[in-house]
Amino acid sequence: MGATSFPLPGKVAIVTGGRRGIGKAIALALAEAGADIAVCDRVIEDGELGVVAEEAQRLGRRSLAVQADITQKADVDSLVERVVAEFGAIDILVNNAAMNIRAPLLELREDGWDRVIDTDLKGYYLCSQAVGKQMVSRKRGNIINIASTAAMYTAPEMGAYCIAKAGVVMLTKILAVELAQYNIRVNAVAPSMVKTKFSQPLWDDPETLKEIESGIPLGRLAETGDIIGSVLFLASDASSYITGHTIIVDGGLSA
């Protein structure tokens, strides 16, 4: 299902963690659907974020690449102010930035816990708060949080990540209820493992990959393109009566 199935002409979207992987795929899919795009990431020096913005421009859309640490309120506020100044409004926010530190909770250092929770949960709250205020003033908007099936199931040495993603699911529900009166919808997409550089340490060994895929009814790991359809659906008017919902995209793993 391509981007043209859920057109978004004239919309303005922010995608956090848009430098590569799922974030990059989402940003370019939104651009293909007609939205102008602002992508942000903590890292900008390697040029990958700028490449995403350039690809969006080649699709005929306005785009902006912004270095921002979503765990810092000042960075988030500056990001939102810049996007509004450049594009005039924000219609869609996709909270996607994430990180993980693999360790049992009893061995995870405090600073490691803080880094995971701050990026994977606090950052979503800060971005939703700042963008949400802009949306409230216009009485419309759409927030989409990228959660994970790790919110529902435990995973070895991924305790902080699982806890943060569970928090994202609840954040989605609470924001959906609080913002519904302003015609702002808030939903989440929860993929299982997606074949990206982020997850590569978990599946890089061929035997491990084979074992993981054998437990998935569809027989393979998700690709970034498998996540796009759900995000586009939630970003479009096709889902206008859906809010507070988490769409699980896991190849049948939870069936």
- Average pLDDT in the 68-74 region? 98
Q: Which tens digit of pLDDT belongs to each residue from 39-50?
A: 999 999 999 999
Are residues 53 and 131 in contact, defined by beta-carbon separation less than 8 angstroms? no
Answer whether residue 200 shows pLDDT above 80: no
Predicted pLDDT of residue 3: 63
Are residues 253 and 149 in contact, defined by beta-carbon separation less than 8 angstroms? yes
Where are the domains positioned within the chain? 8-249
Are residues 161 and 155 in contact, defined by beta-carbon separation less than 8 angstroms? yes
Q: How confident is the model at residue 4 (pLDDT cuts 50, 70, 90)?
A: low
- What is d(CA 169, CA 75) in angstroms, rounded to the nearest whole number? 24
Q: Which tens digit of pLDDT belongs to each residue from 119-162?
A: 999 999 999 999 999 999 999 999 999 999 999 998 889 999 99
Question: Which residues are identified as catalytic?
Answer: 161
- Rounded to whole angstroms, what are the CA distances from 38 to 61, 86, 193, 194? 10, 10, 26, 23
3-state secondary structure of 59: coil
Q: What is the pTM of this model?
A: 0.95
Predicted pLDDT of residue 171: 98
Architecture of domain 8-249: 3-Layer(aba) Sandwich (3.40)
